Amino acid sequence: MLNKYPLWKSLMVLFIVAIGAIYASPNLYPEDPAVQLSGLRGVETTAATLDTVKSHLDENNISYANIAMEKGQVLARFKNTEEQLKARDLLDDIMGEEYSVALNLTPATPSWLASIGGTPMKLGLDLSGGVSFLMEVNMQEAIVKVQKSLVDDFRTGLRGEKIRYRSVKNTNDSINVQFRNAEDLEKAETFLSKQNRDLLFVSNEGNLTLSASMTEQKLKETREYALQQNITIIRNRVNELGVAEPLVQRQGKKHIVIELPGVQDTAKAKEILSATATIEFRLVDTEGDLGAALNGRVPGSSQLLKERNGQPVLLKKRVMLTGDHIVDAGSSFDEYSRPQVNITLDSAGGNKMSSNTKSNIGKPMATVFIEFKPTDRVDSEGNTIFEKVEEVISVATIQARLGKTFRITGAGSQAEAHNLALLLRAGALVAPIQIVEERTVGPTLGAENVQLGFQAIMLGFGLVFLFMLVYYRAFGIVANLALGANLVMIIGVMSMMPGGAALTLPGMAGIVLTVGMAVDANVLIFERIREEIREGKSIQQSIHQGYDAAFSTIIDANITTLIAALILFAVGTGPIKGFAITLSIGILTSMFTAVVGTRTVVNAVWGGKRLDKLSI
């Protein structure tokens, strides 16, 4: 029988639409502005913490909707952002030493919906408010760091092969190794070229020098590695800040975009994100003459640095261990109530520390804090020049062989120890970065954007709804039902996506565009049905031929648009991706609702019946 679906197919269509509606429903419940309190390393949030937060808020007449323990954190919900910001400032002043106090937007989704994974769509920075940074990675520093590492590798390798050399120096874009005779030069070139196939080696027998420079492929890999590692480390730091739904992604060849929804105070975020701090452990040069070093006669194997109190210290240049091997770090107090940082190393770092301290028991070891700070100067390519600042934060005598876990002291305050632990735990940036653009979006502006975007969607939906109803009459009602189902399914799919798809203003534009495209498919079908009726075919044949004939045209038109949307998503960034996501989802859902959905309704209402007239 023409135009009749079996029951199972109709139920399947209804089931798909119902699933979309269920997972779209959490968006009907507005998010509550909240303050999230979580313990820093070594500090737990307990029922006593909950009571303390309540008492502080009550004493300062800050009204709240609810305070509860959720997932090991204290979550205080408020009725408006004004009370939320007051509470954040108060709790940060009183409890910020031991707890991380972060702004949050907490869903008010019913428990039964949450139990089946129902969550509202996440709102992008332009809708929820927050701060956005555009950061630039200093690629030249990344290359210099690799070159310095190669210098150490060359020295270690040549010593292991017992090849004598005068010096190994990093000059400009190459590494120069000076030898005593041509025989050592030849041996070194053979050995080093085998060990470093991604380097170009040029020997000069006249002055017994071997020069090594990185190939273009090696330079490209170094830049790509620096960018990707910095993105990973920044993500770790953002997670430590306790920001809800952050966005960290690359933009171009050397830029990183960071969006922190809900964050209005940018000072702490900037300090943590752009810091390039790491540490090194070196032996104190007890054999060198400190007085001579102060007069400018520093031994070639040593370096003169200062402690925080201004006291000069002569250190060995050779690094025993770097912060790259740190896998965990936390702040606490020692037995004298002084702030300290507890460090855990990976297996390779533990072995290095063990072997280095084993042979140096009784000797003083210094912990050097290293930070790159931007200057006012730029290089030939317009990049900011960073200044390397080194400071000795502690000098301690090695009492016994150290392993994977140990502690360092010398931090000025508990807050400083906490920040240092956070940076070491998250990892040191591979290359320095600088903030080249900063934007702050207030919550009020975000709410206004949401309202305007919603009004645009509703206006577009209403005008299309009215046109279809007037022009296609009964079939227009069917198209409008499909249009509503399409809108619900877009929201449902975006809410169900793994990791969540953030809705942005351009994303709303994509939804408005999809509304018009969804109706376009129905226009093609309905006009084809009219054509068949004018040619004298029966009503049932006209409906059948109308859907079948228009199907190929609809598929072709939507696939070409989907390809364009996927390209926008692949090569675009930020707002373009938001537009591409909603457009892609809208194309797929509109093909389902406009073709399969309307066909199901038409078959249920008009299918299999003798009809002389059709309201189309």
- pLDDT in the model for residue 82: 85
d(C-alpha 556, C-alpha 131), whole Å: 41
Residues 61 and 149 in one domain: no
DSSP 166: S
User: Does the structure show a pLDDT above 80 at 613?
Assistant: yes
User: Does the structure show a pLDDT above 90 at 11?
Assistant: yes
Residues 379 and 498 in one domain: no
Specify if 82 maps to a domain.
Answer: yes
CATH at 529: 1.20.1640.10
- pLDDT in the model for residue 333: 80
Residues 369 and 501 in one domain: no
Specify if 615 maps to a domain.
Answer: no
CATH at 57: 3.30.70.260
CATH at 302: 3.30.1360.200
Residues 14 and 149 in one domain: no
User: Does the structure show a pLDDT above 80 at 522?
Assistant: yes
- pLDDT in the model for residue 414: 67
Specify if 497 maps to a domain.
Answer: yes
Specify if 492 maps to a domain.
Answer: yes
Question: Contact at 8 Å (CB) between 304 and 316?
Answer: no
Of 176, 198, 218, the domain-final residue = 218
Among 77-91, 100-114, 495-509, the range of highest mean pLDDT: 77-91
Confidence of residue 459 (pLDDT cuts 50, 70, 90): confident
Confidence of residue 240 (pLDDT cuts 50, 70, 90): low
Which residue range forms the structural domain that includes residue 37? 32-106
- pLDDT in the model for residue 356: 84
CATH at 210: 3.30.1240
Q: Residue 202 to residues 177, 187, 189, 243: CA-CA distances in angstroms? A: 11, 13, 9, 51
Specify if 599 maps to a domain.
Answer: yes
Rounded to an integer, the average pLDDT of 356-381 is: 78
Rounded to an integer, the average pLDDT of 122-129 is: 73
d(C-alpha 369, C-alpha 450), whole Å: 46
Rounded to an integer, the average pLDDT of 429-443 is: 75
Q: Mean pLDDT, the chain, as a whole number? A: 82
Residues 422 and 283 in one domain: yes
- pLDDT in the model for residue 527: 92
- pLDDT in the model for residue 38: 75
- pLDDT in the model for residue 271: 62
Radius of gyration for the chain, computed over Cα atoms and rounded to the nearest angstrom: 33
Rounded to an integer, the average pLDDT of 156-169 is: 87
Residues 13 and 41 in one domain: no
Specify if 611 maps to a domain.
Answer: no
Which of 368, 369, 372, 324 minimizes the C-alpha distance to 137? 372
Residues 457 and 575 in one domain: yes
d(C-alpha 423, C-alpha 222), whole Å: 22
Find residue 440's DSSP bridge partners: 131
Q: At what angle do helices 443-496 and 598-606 cross, to 10 degrees?
A: 60
- pLDDT in the model for residue 489: 93
Residues 337 and 486 in one domain: no
pLDDT digits (tens, 9 = 90+) for 372-409: 666 777 776 666 676 778 888 778 788 788 888 877 76
Of 170, 196, 218, the domain-final residue = 218
Question: Which of 210-214, 374-378, 564-568, 588-592 is predicted least confidently?
Answer: 374-378
Residues 48 and 158 in one domain: no
Residues 318 and 343 in one domain: yes
- pLDDT in the model for residue 562: 92
Higher per-residue pLDDT: 235 or 478: 478
Specify if 272 maps to a domain.
Answer: no
User: Does the structure show a pLDDT above 70 at 574?
Assistant: no
Q: How many domains does the chain have?
A: 4
Specify if 560 maps to a domain.
Answer: yes
Residues 392 and 476 in one domain: no
Q: What percent of the chain has pLDDT over 70?
A: 88
Residues 54 and 15 in one domain: no
User: Does the structure show a pLDDT above 90 at 16?
Assistant: yes
Of 89, 106, 123, the domain-final residue = 106
d(C-alpha 507, C-alpha 451), whole Å: 14
- pLDDT in the model for residue 370: 79
